[in-house]
């Protein structure tokens, strides 16, 4: 690998053509769109695969990209709901309301393989590299077919990936007698904290009955990829990145936080990120302007976590009782008649001077970026955590599934930039007094709050530095593009020798 200062910056980068294949869910599409922007801003050509419904959600972003002349293409492949028996239009994981449709959704996703291959073969500029989502392992085959290299984009952080990798390697899932038996994660970097988990809290990726084949495909694709793309940065977790690289025997490229591809004053892009917002962004900003700095808590649980009506009512009551100003996001799919009625029966009236309820999609990045926001009640999806870190907002952690409990460990135990709600499983009803007490604990003045805020602000500063010229993520991106160009040239030479 050439030293950083010898790396070609942009002129030849247009010869690199990246193909990005996300799983069709906002937590995977959003970071891939951001990554596409980062690569295109450096001169590389990017193809980001989408489908008609998903494209309609990111239309404003696509328009902004086209207007700015960034070389990103968004081929809209037909999502074959009809072929697998999915209701028409179910093109995103958050549109699946019946759990029995999950398998069909992943089957439909894998059927994008052929049309994508046809599309790529028709392109004037041949692809040079495939970045496939960990949940689209079939896209690794496309790279094989096109005889180009591929890397896996996990959407997890190195800390969680390392824990899961080591648990699997040591066969610990098979050794425990129950899902709730606690064990220490082996093989973590020396002098680093002991991390204790249970199988329930660190289940692995699709490591559950009925998903064995898909799980094996994911692991096979990961182990045979040329490297891993991480939405993370050096100063956040370098010992874990290095240990993960060693464990995997491949390079892990920490090139994030991707959300920082959007400039501080680019409100339009921030407001449109991931979907059209369900509130008037200007009104939301004006309301935040009236609040004291650091006084508002933002409560949101990502794009696919589903809360019951009873749980939503407990959360609302807890937020109200806490006395702190808040923005609370309830997903469209959670807006049952029961919840609607409860909100209208007095809640909205009682909290109107200090609470905003978003019914649908919230412009999360825009909200978190406002100085009035001083806390984030989060389900610990990695994008949400990293957005809070990048902006410098302390967290109240309420994980539900997947990597979220491990992300909580990093936030609370390792980085000490948040406090935990102490949730053991996503299945139990959390009462309003617990919500109230936890919000108070996070937001009320006190030493703990000052220390957490100082730490997270410091990490935010480091995150920004990482993404600026000369910063670790910026230079890793330079090296990544250079790596692609070198591999491309080597391939040409090989082909030339064969002729
Ligand atoms: N998000 C948003 N508005 C919402 C809900 C989610 O902008 O109302 C964004 C959030 O900023 C993040 C992504 O959607 O970028 C969710 O990803 P995350 O990994 O946090 O959680 P997931 O949805 O995958 O569980």
Q: Convert the pLDDT of each residue in 114-148 to its tens digit.
A: 999 999 999 988 999 999 999 999 999 999 999 99
Dihedrals phi, psi of 441, to nearest 5 degrees: -60, -40
Average pLDDT over residues 271-293: 95
pLDDT digits (tens, 9 = 90+) for 70-79: 999 999 999 9
Position 6 confidence tier, pLDDT thresholds 50, 70, 90: very low
CA of 53 to the centre of ligand 1 (A): 18
What integer pLDDT is reported at residue 397 of this predicted model? 97
Q: Which atom of ligand 1 is nearest to the CA of 365?
A: 11
Q: Which long-range contacts (CB under 8 A, 24 or more apart) does 305-308 make?
A: 305/379, 305/381, 305/400, 305/401, 305/426, 306/331, 306/333, 306/334, 307/334, 308/429
Instruction: Supply the pLDDT for residue 490.
Output: 79
Residue 280 and residue 328: Cα distance in Å, rounded? Answer: 15
pLDDT digits (tens, 9 = 90+) for 256-280: 999 999 988 888 999 999 999 999 9
User: Domain 13-261+469-498: which topology?
Assistant: Rossmann fold (3.40.50)
135 Cα–ligand 1 center, Å:
17
Kindly tell me if the per-residue pLDDT of 450 is higher than 60.
yes
- Give the start-end residues of each E strand in 60-103: 72-73
Distance 303 CA to ligand 1 centre (A): 5
> What single DSSP character describes residue 469?
T
* Cα 228 to middle of ligand 1, angstroms: 22
- C-alpha 422 to ligand 1 mean position (Å): 22
Question: Which residue, judged by its Cα, is nearest atom 15 of ligand 1?
Answer: 383
The atom of ligand 1 lying closest to the CA of 360 is 8
Angle at 358 (CA atoms; ends 448, 266), nearest 5 degrees: 80
Q: Which of the listed residues 96, 284, 327, 364 should we mutate to test ligand 1's pocket, taking the one with most ligand atoms within 8 A of CB?
A: 364
CA 155 to ligand 1 centroid distance, Å: 12
The percentage of the chain sitting over the pLDDT mark of 70, rounded to a whole number, equals 96
CA of 59 to the centre of ligand 1 (A): 17
DSSP string, 91-132: -SGGG--SGGGHHHHHHHHHTTHHHHHHHHHH-SS---EEEE
The full set of domain ranges for the chain reads 13-261+469-498, 271-463
384 CA distance to ligand 1 middle (Å): 6
Instruction: Tell me the CA end-to-end span of the chain in Å, nearest whole number.
Output: 28
Q: How far apart are CA 402 and CA 395, in angstroms?
A: 19
Higher pLDDT, 172 or 489: 172
pLDDT digits (tens, 9 = 90+) for 57-99: 999 999 999 999 999 999 999 999 999 999 999 999 999 988 8
Report the chain's mean pLDDT, rounded to a whole number. 92
Identify the residue whose C-alpha is closest to ligand 1 atom 11. Answer: 364
Distance from the alpha carbon of residue 23 to the mean position of ligand 1, in angstroms: 14
Cβ count near 206 (within 10 Å): 19
Protein residue whose Cα sits closest to atom 6 of ligand 1: 302
d(CA 46, CA 440): 45
d(CA 112, CA 21) in angstroms, rounded, equals 10
Phi-psi region at 432: left, alpha or beta (left = phi > 0; alpha = psi -120 to 50): alpha
Question: Does residue 393 register a pLDDT over 70?
Answer: yes
Report the C-alpha gap between 299 and 326 in whole angstroms: 7
Best of 32, 231, 327, 384 for a ligand 1 pocket test (most atoms within 8 Å of beta carbon)? 384
Are the C-beta atoms of 54 and 80 separated by less than 8 Å? no
What mean pLDDT is predicted for residues 247-261?
A: 95
State the distance from the centre of ligand 1 to the C-alpha of 28, rounded, in angstroms: 9
Strand duo 373-378 + 395-397: pairing? parallel
Q: What's the CATH number for 271-463?
A: 3.40.50.2000
Mean pLDDT of 300-329: 97
- Sign, CA dihedral 81-86-92-93, equals negative
pLDDT of residue 193: 81
pLDDT classification of 499: cutoffs 50, 70, 90: low
Asked if the domains 13-261+469-498 and 271-463 are classified in one and the same CATH topology, the answer is yes
Asked if 27 and 156 count as a contact pair (C-beta separation under 8 A), the reply is: no
Name all contacts of 91-98 with Cβ < 8 Å and 24+ positions apart.
91/24, 91/51, 91/52, 91/53, 91/54, 92/24, 92/25, 92/26, 92/53, 92/54, 92/57, 93/23, 93/24, 93/25, 93/304, 94/25, 94/26, 94/303, 94/304, 94/331, 94/333, 95/53, 97/333
361 CA: nearest ligand 1 atom: 8
> Closest residue (by CA) to atom 10 of ligand 1?
384
What is the predicted pLDDT for the residue at 5?
A: 35
The whole-number average pLDDT for the span 163-175 is 91
In what side-by-side order are the strands of the sheet with 373-378? 355-359, 326-330, 296-300, 373-378, 395-397, 418-420
- Pick the closest to residue 232 from 241, 221, 224 (CA basis): 241
How far is the C-alpha of 274 from the C-alpha of 397, rounded, in Å?
22
Beta carbons within 10 angstroms of residue 449's beta carbon: 18
- Per DSSP bridges, beta strands 17-21 and 129-133 are parallel
Backbone φ, ψ for residue 148 (5° rounding) = -125, 160
What's the pLDDT at 473? 98
Atom of ligand 1 nearest to the CA of 363: 7
Which residues does 192 contact at the CB level (< 8 Å), separation at least 6? 239, 414
* Nearest atom (ligand 1) to Cα of 303: 23
pLDDT at position 489, please? 78
Per-residue pLDDT, 8: 39
Ligand 1 centroid vs 273 CA: distance in angstroms?
10
Write out pLDDT tens, residues 205-245.
Answer: 888 889 999 999 999 998 899 999 999 999 999 999 999 99
Which residue, 220, 233, 258, 104, is CA-closest to 158? 233
Q: Whose CA is nearest to atom 3 of ligand 1?
A: 362
- Rounded mean pLDDT of 276-293? 95
Quick one: which atom of ligand 1 is closest to the CA of 31? 15
Protein residues whose CB sits closer than 6 Å to any atom of ligand 1: 26-27, 30, 273-274, 300, 302-305, 329, 361-362, 364-365, 381-384, 387
Q: Which atom of ligand 1 is nearest to the CA of 380?
A: 20
ipTM of the complex: 0.99
d(CA 225, CA 201): 27
What distance in angstroms lies between residue 361's CA and the mean position of ligand 1's atoms?
A: 9
- The distance between the two most distant Cα atoms of the chain, rounded to a whole number of Å, is 78
Query: pLDDT by residue (tens digit) across 338-381?
Result: 999 999 999 999 999 999 999 999 999 999 999 999 999 999 99
Q: Which residues pair with 76 in a beta bridge?
A: 50
- Give the pLDDT confidence score for residue 445 in this predicted structure: 79
């Amino acid at each position: 690998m050439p030293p950083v200062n010898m790396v070609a910056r942009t002129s030849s980068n247009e010869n690199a053509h990246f193909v990005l294949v996300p799983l069709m869910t906002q937590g995977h599409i959003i970071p891939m769109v951001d990554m596409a922007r980062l690569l295109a801003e450096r001169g590389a050509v990017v193809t980001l695969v989408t489908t008609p419904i998903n494209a309609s959600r990111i239309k404003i972003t696509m328009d902004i990209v086209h207007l700015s002349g960034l070389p990103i293409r968004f081929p809209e492949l037909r999502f074959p709901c009809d072929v697998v028996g999915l209701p028409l239009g179910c093109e995103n994981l958050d549109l699946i309301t019946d759990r029995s449709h999950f398998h069909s959704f992943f089957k439909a996703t894998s059927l994008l393989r052929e049309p994508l291959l046809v599309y790529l073969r028709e392109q004037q500029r041949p692809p040079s590299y495939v970045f496939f989502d960990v949940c689209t392992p079939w896209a690794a085959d496309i790279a094989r077919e096109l005889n180009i290299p591929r890397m896996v984009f996990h959407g997890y952080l190195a800390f969680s990936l390392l824990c899961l990798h080591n648990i699997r390697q040591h066969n610990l899932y098979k050794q425990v007698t129950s899902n709730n038996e606690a064990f220490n994660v082996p093989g973590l970097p020396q002098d680093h904290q002991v991390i204790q988990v249970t199988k329930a809290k660190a289940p692995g990726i699709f490591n559950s009955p009925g998903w064995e084949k898909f799980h094996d495909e994911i692991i096979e694709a990961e182990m045979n990829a040329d490297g891993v793309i991480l939405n993370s940065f050096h100063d956040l977790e370098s010992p874990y990145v290095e240990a993960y690289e060693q464990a995997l025997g491949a390079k892990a490229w920490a090139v994030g936080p991707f959300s920082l591809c959007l400039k501080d004053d680019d409100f339009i892009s921030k407001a449109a990120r991931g979907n059209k917002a369900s509130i008037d962004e200007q009104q939301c900003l004006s309301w935040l302007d009236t609040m004291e700095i650091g006084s508002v808590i933002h409560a949101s649980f990502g794009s696919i976590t589903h809360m019951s009506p009873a749980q939503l009512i407990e959360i609302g009551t807890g937020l109200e009782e806490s006395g702190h100003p808040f923005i609370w996001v309830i997903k469209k799919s959670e807006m049952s008649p029961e919840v609607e009625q409860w909100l209208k029966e007095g809640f909205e009236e009682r909290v109107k001077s200090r609470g905003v309820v978003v019914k649908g999609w919230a412009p999360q990045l825009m909200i978190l970026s406002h100085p009035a926001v001083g806390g984030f009640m989060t389900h610990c999806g990695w994008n949400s955590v990293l957005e809070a870190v990048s902006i410098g907002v302390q967290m109240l952690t309420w994980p539900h599934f997947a990597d979220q409990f491990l992300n909580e460990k990093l936030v609370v135990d390792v980085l000490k930039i948040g406090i935990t709600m102490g949730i053991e499983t996503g299945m139990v009803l959390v009462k309003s007094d617990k919500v109230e007490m936890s919000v108070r604990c996070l937001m009320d003045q006190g030493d703990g709050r000052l220390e957490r805020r100082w730490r997270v602000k410091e990490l935010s500063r480091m995150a920004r530095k990482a993404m600026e010229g000369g910063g670790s993520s910026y230079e890793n991106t330079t090296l990544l593009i250079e790596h692609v160009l070198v591999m491309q040239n080597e391939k040409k030479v090989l082909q030339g020798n064969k002729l």
